[in-house]
Amino acid sequence: MKKQFSTFLIATLILLSCSSKKSELTLENLNWIDLSYAFDSSTLYWPNNAKGFEHHTDAEGVTPLGFYYSSFSICTPEHGGTHLDAPIHFAANKFTVDEIPLSSLSGNAVLIDVSKNALPNRDYQISIEDIENWEEKNGTIQENTIILFKTGYGQFYPDRAKYFGSPKTGSIAIPELHFPGVAPETTQWLVSKRKIKALGIDTPSMDYGQSKDFKTHQILLGENKPGFENVAHLDQLPSTGIYVMALPMKIGKGSGAPLRIVAGISK
């Protein structure tokens, strides 16, 4: 598995360096930024998840033969912490986690910082104007780009009250959720006008906290494009010149999965 991943990574970056004169990202001149939160007792899940992350010790210590050995088992819902939303999550007959092509999980990315608007307004929905303003400074977003939205709410993780807008759990918490997301019309514009590859955000959901129909999920996942939620450390990324690798646990028939997402940027 490690050999296959290394081969894939090197091949991808070689192709990138040959085809992208503008970014000139190569294996030798990349710094890798981990955009994932660790899964542990502090991991945040949607309020109505019955269970959170569980980590059990099956064996740990020095064996009778004198060598150290440890083995653990885990249990976790699909959607929580830094995770991937597979298209099947909100769109029938679309990709499950194990069916998503690797080409949909890696590629050039841009960071769009909307924290100036989002931090003062917990119910902020990212607009088309936000993106057009970004493009005025950075150029038109190219097709098959991965979009990462920085709302600034990553600074609150894992404080449930500040991150979700409510400290409560269970179904009673749902009406009290307040955090930014992507407006459905913006998602439709990104899909149809910019033909994006995937979308990630540093909040619990691509839809804002007060959403009832999760229309942004319906639109993006309905186009067989994955979403990344609870993305970490976006404050460490520039606006452009980013290469993303977003590899989830390969859960058969999964609607989502824990995600290890990293970004390569020029040194």
pTM beyond 0.95, yes or no:
no
pLDDT at 21: 43
Q: 45 with 81: CB under 8 angstroms?
A: yes
> What pLDDT is attached to residue 28?
75
Domain membership of residue 143 as a residue range: 2-51+78-266
Question: Is the distance from CB of 9 to CB of 18 less than 8 angstroms?
Answer: no
The DSSP symbol for 48 reads T
Residues 218 and 200: their CA atoms lie apart, in Å, by 15
Q: What is the pLDDT of residue 27?
A: 67
Domain count along the chain: 1
Place of tokens 């009778």: 64
CATH number at residue 256: 3.50.30.50
**64 within a domain of the structure (yes/no):** no
- d(Cα 171, Cα 109) in Å, to the nearest integer? 35
Structure tokens at 57: 């010790």
Is 68 within the bounds of a domain? no
Q: Is residue 73 part of a domain?
A: no
Q: What is the mean pLDDT of each run of 10 residues along the chain (267 residues)?
A: 48 48 63 97 95 97 98 97 98 98 98 98 98 98 98 98 97 97 98 98 98 98 98 98 97 98 94
Q: How far apart are CA 171 and CA 175, in angstroms?
A: 8
pLDDT for residue 25: 56
pLDDT score of 123:
98
